[in-house]
């Protein structure tokens, strides 16, 4: 008996495609469990499923779709490459397109101070390359990472990631990773809170590195996010980040900033570390850098470029389509000042969400920068901890996400226990779309509270 080819037009239901996906794909898939739809088309901030339902997309490919879906400049860039005869894949051989993209990307860094390394093609590949480079440069083997950090799911990058769920199932990850506490405005890891908590953590890092009895040898690198994404949208305090830069520079430790999610105008600046006025030794870039297509790039201060030829390779580091879409995206970001739009729209969303926090006690904290916002969901019926934070309510957060989906709003969760609702809108989002997002989110919180607490 032969199989009859599927005609998608005659099977236009979400359930049909989700059932087939369940039968054909690995159990590892995650997003369809929380956002059960089959996408037919998308434009800007809007996604349409196979049943014709339209959703406001505040996930944007986990931040990858900086210009939203199918931006005309991105589509034109793809069409131009396809019509040009340019090879789609060049390893690390150069092309005029790669030359232009490289020059444009370097223009966002201090002139003449950095070089680019093209990796293949995910953010995790970038963090792997950055750590290898730091070990190559210093001759040392240890790495300092931070609780709550996320650097990818490959073997080495997972070892530097804070979340234990994936790590518990995989033994013998990369050795030599020392975790340290990351400041948190709502859940201070020292139980102090406020400026006193930030000051204590700032002192703690410096003392840890300089204490000859710390028990840990000098590391090759410190890797961190200036805004932790998957960890629950936790922003690094300026003084803490500046101290880390000062101490790592003093002791010859390579400072790696993971800007995979927070970079490219999302925080209201081109890179999130710019809020602290520092210059990292290595910057890891992916997601938005490829203009929606797979690409990972390191920016390396020239003195740290310790690679020998072929010291690190990757077949798809020559993805010409991604360089074309990345180049087009960088041009739009600059010409339309999308960093400013992200800041203005983000300020509005945070202000409105903080108003909602006065109405709904389950919103314990609203935080972030630009269009990278976290809404911490708590159980305000329970006692507060020593610094006034309520217990996390991951169950309610999940119900809020579910209710958002019913109200045609796509967003994700993160943080400890998945209790932080995260907003990663496309940078092109308009004021009216932000107002619509607040309207739908408000309805979703009301519905979720009725479902879980009534």
Complete DSSP assignment for 393-441: -HHHHHHHHHHHHHTTEE-EEESGGG-EEEE---TT--HHHHHHHHHHH
Q: Which of 349, 312, 342 is nearest to 435 (CA)?
A: 349
Which pLDDT belongs to residue 401?
Answer: 98
Q: Which residues pair with 177 in a beta bridge?
A: 143
Residues 6+ apart with CB under 8 A from 295: 118, 121, 286, 289, 319, 322, 323, 326
Burial group, residue 306, by CB count within 10 angstroms (0-12, 13-18, 19+): middle
Work out the widest C-alpha separation in the chain, in whole angstroms.
74
Q: Which of 296, 276, 277 is nearest to 286 (CA)?
A: 296
Which pLDDT belongs to residue 45?
Answer: 98
Which pLDDT belongs to residue 5?
Answer: 52
Helix (H) or strand (E) holding 222: strand 221-224
Q: Residues of the chain whose pLDDT is less than 50?
A: 1-2, 4
pTM over 0.85: yes
Which pLDDT belongs to residue 2?
Answer: 44
- Going through 15-160 in order, the beta strands assigned E by DSSP cover 39-43, 46-49, 54-57, 114-119, 143-146
Which pLDDT belongs to residue 452?
Answer: 96
Q: Which residues pair with 54 in a beta bridge?
A: 48
Which pLDDT belongs to residue 387?
Answer: 95
């Amino acid at each position: 008996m032969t199989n009859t080819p599927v005609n998608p037009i005659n099977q236009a239901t979400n359930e049909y495609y989700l059932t087939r996906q369940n039968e054909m794909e690995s159990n590892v898939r995650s997003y369809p469990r929380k956002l059960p739809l089959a996408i037919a088309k998308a434009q800007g901030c809007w996604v349409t499923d196979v049943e014709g339902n339209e959703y406001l997309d505040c996930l944007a490919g986990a931040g990858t779709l900086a210009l939203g879906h199918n931006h005309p400049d991105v589509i034109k860039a793809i069409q131009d490459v396809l019509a040009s005869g340019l090879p789609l894949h060049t390893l690390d051989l150069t092309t005029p397109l790669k030359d232009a993209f490289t020059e444009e990307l370097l223009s966002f860094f201090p002139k003449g101070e950095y070089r680019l390394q093209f990796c293949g093609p995910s953010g995790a590949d970038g963090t792997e390359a950055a750590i290898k480079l730091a070990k190559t440069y210093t001759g040392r083997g240890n790495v300092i990472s931070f609780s709550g950090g996320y650097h990818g799911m490959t073997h080495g990058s997972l070892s530097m990631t804070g979340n234990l769920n994936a790590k518990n199932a995989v033994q013998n990850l990369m050795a030599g990773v020392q975790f340290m506490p990351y400041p948190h405005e709502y859940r201070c890891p020292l139980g102090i809170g406020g400026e006193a908590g930030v000051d204590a953590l700032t002192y703690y890092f410096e003392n840890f590195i300089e204490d000859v009895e710390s028990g840990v040898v000098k590391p090759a690198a410190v890797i961190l996010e200036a805004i932790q994404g998957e960890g629950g949208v936790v922003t690094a305090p300026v003084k803490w980040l500046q101290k880390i830069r000062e101490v790592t520079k003093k002791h010859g430790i390579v400072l790696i900033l993971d800007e995979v999610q927070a970079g490219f105008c999302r925080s209201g600046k081109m890179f999130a570390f710019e809020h602290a006025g520092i210059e990292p030794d290595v910057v890891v870039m992916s997601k938005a850098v490829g203009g929606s297509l797979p690409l990972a790039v390191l920016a390396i201060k020239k003195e740290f470029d310790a690679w020998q030829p072929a010291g690190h390779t990757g077949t798809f580091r020559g993805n010409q389509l991604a360089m074309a879409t990345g180049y087009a995206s960088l041009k739009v970001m600059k010409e339309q000042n999308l960093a400013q739009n992200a800041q203005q729209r983000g300020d509005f969303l945070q202000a409105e969400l903080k108003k909602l926090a006065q109405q709904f006690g389950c919103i314990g904290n609203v935080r972030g920068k630009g269009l990278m916002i976290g809404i911490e969901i708590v159980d305000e019926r329970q006692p507060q901890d020593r610094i006034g934070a309520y217990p996390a309510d991951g169950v309610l957060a999940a119900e809020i996400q579910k209710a958002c989906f019913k109200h045609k709003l796509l967003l994700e969760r993160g943080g400890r226990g998945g209790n932080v609702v995260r907003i990663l809108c496309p940078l092109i989002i308009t004021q009216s779309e932000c107002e619509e997002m607040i309207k739908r989110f408000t309805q979703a919180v009301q519905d979720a509270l009725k479902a879980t607490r009534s």
